[in-house]
Structure 1
């Protein structure tokens, strides 16, 4: 009977030892599982935070681009409107030139001719609009330049003086308006819009 008892006791010790080891293994596994879960949670939180930061940064960049584009379009629209207003001012000035009476036209042509002669030694030909040919002949005759040929040109007003050496002085209303526009546009912008 003693052998049976020893066997029973041995079996009990082995079972107890197995239970104790199993309990230790389970506890160790639970600790490892808890560590793995915590690491996974931390990794998930870190990734979630990184993703949130990435999304926020992307949204900031997108917003900055949209704001920049809106500002650019706004400046462009304002610039176009300013240009349109300036265009209208110069069109009105040009239309005013079309409504000069005969005495004003004659005085204007004489002034432009006198100015042009400063740049030409020997005038050969003066180009004027078709309607101003006779007026220019009178002016040339009065100034003792009757030898200068007068020819019609497709200009609205003013004149183009040609020298014997081929130098052209363009004092047509169109070219003078272009020069005036270049010079005056910055001043007009400053005066109108500060």
Structure 2
């Protein structure tokens, strides 16, 4: 009898483990509404990062997904379409006049993006999504790096945040040219190569 009891317990263990697994072990499947897609980045100047330029965008880009899902969705960006007009803070408690963003746009495009080996081109692809984190493969200056991003879904919108370092993309020479212009004129002696990324997109969830 004891042997039979042990055999029954052993046979039931896989089922016990399966039913004990948390519900969130399944992988979320997100179907995005690309018409509601929005993204931006924040750049920093000054030794203490007190000069913050937020809400920077590109006006020309193409979002695509062969499967219609968020996983493996891509974005191709024309970096020459940079628009930095959202944030006019001058880092000194005041605001820049409206004439400044076009100058700032040109400085970034001409001295950074157009000095890439593939001038003015940035691509990104979502290669993994799991438990509040996703992996974004970013390609620029001929280099691809994986950028980890955290995300949450609030009121039907997936909101993702992460950061990247431009120097990780073999872009030290391009960044030096950009830094030479911006550090002296704009950034109080320090231009940061790290930028914060955000994107939001309405999604339909399944399997969560």
In terms of fraction of residues, the more strand-rich structure is 2
Greater percentage in helix: 1
For the pair shown, which has the larger CA radius of gyration, 1 or 2? Answer: 1
Q: Which has the higher contact order (CA 8 A, sep 6+)?
A: 2
Taking structure 2 as the reference length, the TM-score comes to 0.30
Q: TM-score, normalised by structure 1?
A: 0.31
